[in-house]
Structure formats: structure tokens, C-alpha cells
Amino acid sequence: MKKLFRLGGASSVLTALLPLNPLSAQQAATEAEPASGQRPMNIIFYLVDDMGYGDLGYLGNRMVESPAIDAFAAESSVFTNAYAAPESSPTRASLLTGKNPARLHLTTWIPQKGSRKASEYKGWRVPEEARGVALEETLISEALKAHGYDTWHIGKWHIGEGELSPRNQGFNSDTGYWPWSFPRSYFSPYGLQTLQDGPEGEYLTDRLTDEAVKLIKNHSDRPFFLNLWHYAVHEPLRAKDSLTAYYRAKGAPEEGKNKAVYTAMKHSVDENFAKILKAVEEAGIEQNTVIVFFTDNGGVVRHADNGPLRQGKKYLYEGGIRVPLVIRDPRHPGARRIDTPVSSIDFYPTMLEWAGIDPAEVDQHLDGVSIAPLLRNEPIADRTLFWHEMGAFGHGPATAMRQGRYKLLRFYARPADQQYELYDLSQDIGEQHDLSAEQPERVKQMAREMQQWIRDNGAQLPTRVAAGTGKQPGKGHRAR
């Protein structure tokens, strides 16, 4: 049963990505005005699946052509330390609930019906996870809808099926909805109950965007929240033949990083982002629409470009959790480079602020904070960020935390004296030099805080499987 609403009433260094023109006195006064009292902003959330930290032109990729996103980044706020969970389901759950996935018991991907997911990793049993975001949670879609917003979901969901689908979680539409991790087909016929098939061979990324454009063009006078979650660039890799051939001729490899078919999929993501920008412009709503470009986790190592970061999807190293984020708020124009660490848990309170909603009016615990102040060159308080990954793959079940420049990781399936790794991200973004042996006191201090966070959030932990039995031993073997 759904909850009811309670209706009622560290410094960051922000340096310009590109040279900015000095603000006039009038512009400066406008920048200083609080968002309260203004018309609630439309919100477009453009989410890409499995795209890495170095996968686009503005991030340094020289193979892909991504002019729309690059131009958008050149005139918007670019976040260099934006974080997600290392997998799809946890990120999406945190984005819509404002809670850390560990609190939701959603710390790995939700498997399709009938599919088997490994439950053990090197003698450790991973905990049973939730099958989606519970109805008791008040999603941001529900909070916005209760305050007069039209709410539209288009595309991938992957945080529940049946009664946990978008229409039961505050969305008025669920076009192209499919509960699992990748679509039945990237080309029509799609086989999706929520999307009528198009002409044979029509590309899903194009079609989903076209559906979003229709909603933008025909929107009412009410503010809207468009949640456009593309399936691209998730495997299986499928792109238009013409684009794949183009990148093959340009020199993209058949396998490995920036492979031709993967780069072609990214190209389509950019083309469709351009469609959204054009639709907003033609509808005359640029000045009251916030647009967010984000990805749900790092790229798959075998074909994505995660830039200088270590590993990728499914890992708690930076390559798995640090992702592209660009936001354009027309009330605070101009290019900004924002180095303050932010997280997917922050979008909920941020969207509440954009909508002019007091968080106290919404019956939902929030782990995140609004990052809207960063867009107007104001700092947010220093804090520690945490990640909890309980999947039986990659490095196995693990917890990580970032505290200022330092990042601590704990790997539960390793011997007790080898479980922790410590990195100084300000000097070692690629996490190549483990400082745990050099700074044992810092490790102890951060480990204590990590353990307290685990207790406070009710985070589930792996358990040791007794050798030769497949059964769990006593409590003494539980990770502590």
C-alpha cells in the first residue's frame, strides 16, 4: 500500500569549463534570486544505460561524434565527480527514492523472470535482494504529481514489474516500459506491450525519443516531469548498419574499446538528445525547463571508454561508479565545471527544489541533498558518500566510501588482512596506488565510519558458506 503525503506547508571549487562573459548587474541580481516564488520548472531527465566516463566527445573521446551533447556541455554545468551505483537497478532506485540502495536492499541488478543469478562468490553467499522499489516508498514522480505535475516515463525501468511498474509508481504514462535490463529488440517489431510496433527496422532509440517529443509538443499548461530512460547503450549491442559502417570506415575496431557498433549506438544517443533540445526550443519552453543528462553506471570494460578510471560496470572502483552528468538550468546560464562530489541519491531533493516543494511536505526519508545550489555557484556541505555492492561477480560483495579526497574499499571475500584498499583520488584517479599499508590509522577511522553506516542503513552483508556443505555457518562467520 502506498504511503500518504504530508501536505502542508564544504566548499566546492567551481571553475569555468569555458571562458564566461562577466555578468551584468541585472543578470547578477537575477542569479541571486531564490527559486521559490517562481513557476515550477519542467524537468527532463535523459538517462543513458551503461555509458562510460570517457565515452563522449566532451569527455575526451576522439572516435565518437557527439556534437549535440558536446555543445550542451559547453554551455551548461558539467560535473566531474558525479556518482551512480555500479549497476542499473540500484541507481534507478536511488534516483527515484532519494535513498541509498543499501537502505532499499537493492544493491545489484534485478534478474529477469526465469533467469538465474549467482548467489555465491568464492565461498560467500550474497544476500537476497528486493525485487523492486516497494510501493511504500514515495517516489519523486509521486511527489511531483501530487503538486500538479504531469509525469511521464518512457523506456527502461528495471526496478520492478507488475504492481511495481511506472503507472503504479506515480507516472501517467509508461511508453516503451519493459521491466528488465535490455529490450526484446532494438529494432521493430519490438515486442513491447507498452509500445506499438513501428515500421520494420525502426530503431528503438529513435522511436522512444519521438514519443518523448510528442509529449513535449503537446504538453498542457501544467509543469511536467519527463523521465526518458533509454535502453541504449546496454548490450546486446545493436546499431543502425549505416552508422556502424561509418565508424568502421573511420577506424573504429571490431572488438575492444570504442568498437564500431558500440560507437554507432552512442552516435544515435547523441542524435536523439538533439531532438529533445530542438523540441524544447520549438515549444518555447527553454526558459522554464531543466534538462539533465546522466548515465546509470560505468561502461562495460570490454567495449566502453571509462577514461582514466579503473574497471567499469559492476565494480566499485571509479570506472564503475563515476559517470557523466551535465545539467542545464536556464535560470543560471553559462558553462561551469563543478568538482564537488554528487550522487544519484541527490536528484530527488534537487527536483523538489526545482519544483518549489518543501521536502517536509513529502513523506520520504532522503539520504541525498539538493545540488541546485552548485548550479548558482553556491557550495553544499561536505559529506561522505557510500556505495554497497552485493553482486556475486567482478570483485565480489564490497562496500566503498569517499570522504574528501580519500576513498576506502572493503572486499568481504578476501582474507581479513587484505580486505581494505585506500586511494587518494586527488592524486590517483586511476586507483593504482593502494595507501592502506601506508596510512593504517586513516583506514581504521574510515572503516569504523563505514561499519556505522552499514548499521544505520540496515545494509545486508554476505555470509560465509561452510566448506563442503553449501550451508551457512554460525554468526561468527558473518561479515562484520
pLDDT, residue 10, reads: 28
Q: Name residues whose C-beta falls within 8 Å of residue 28's C-beta, 6 or more positions apart in sequence.
A: none
**Average pLDDT score over the chain:** 90
Whole-angstrom distance, CA of residue 344 vs CA of residue 86: 11
Helices 241-250 and 260-282 meet at what angle, rounded to 10?
120
Domain chopping of the chain, boundaries: 14-18+37-381, 385-477
pLDDT, residue 312, reads: 98
- Which tens digit of pLDDT belongs to each residue from 98-138? 999 999 999 999 987 656 677 999 999 999 999 999 999 99
Nearest to 371 by CA among 388, 392, 385, 387: 385
For residue 274, the one-letter residue type is A
Q: How many CA atoms lie within 13 A of 402 on its CB side?
A: 23
> Above 80 in pLDDT, residue 35?
no
pLDDT, residue 366, reads: 98
**Helix (H) / strand (E) containing 400:** strand 398-403
- Which tens digit of pLDDT belongs to each residue from 55-96? 999 999 999 999 999 999 999 999 999 999 999 999 999 999
Grid cell locating 285: 519552453
> Above 70 in pLDDT, residue 471?
no
pTM comes to: 0.91
The topology (CATH level 3) of 14-18+37-381 is: Alkaline Phosphatase, subunit A (3.40.720)
pLDDT-derived band at 474 (thresholds 50, 70, 90) equals very low
Contact (CB, 8 A) for 290 and 329: yes
pLDDT, residue 479, reads: 64
In the CATH hierarchy, which top-level class contains the domain 385-477? alpha beta
Q: Cα–chain-centroid distance for residue 182? A: 16
- Helix/strand/coil (H/E/C) assignment for every residue in 182-228: CCCCCECCCCCCCCCCCCCCCEHHHHHHHHHHHHHHCCCCCCEEEEE
pLDDT-derived band at 27 (thresholds 50, 70, 90) equals very low
Q: How far is CA 316 from CA 84, 145, 389, in A?
A: 10, 34, 7
pLDDT, residue 111, reads: 85
pLDDT-derived band at 299 (thresholds 50, 70, 90) equals very high
| Fold matches, 14-18+37-381 and 385-477 | no
Name the residue with cell 546560464: 333
Q: How far is CA 190 from CA 155, 174, 449, in A?
A: 12, 15, 47
pLDDT, residue 180, reads: 85
pLDDT, residue 114, reads: 56
Q: Taking the CB of residue 294, how many other CB atoms lie within 10 A of it?
A: 22
Nearest to 289 by CA among 322, 233, 324, 329: 329
Q: Is 475 exposed, middle or buried (0-12, 13-18, 19+ CB in 10 A)?
A: exposed
> Above 60 in pLDDT, residue 25?
no
- Which tens digit of pLDDT belongs to each residue from 208-248? 999 999 999 999 999 999 999 999 999 999 999 999 999 99
Looking at the chain, the whole-number percentage of residues with pLDDT higher than 70 is 88
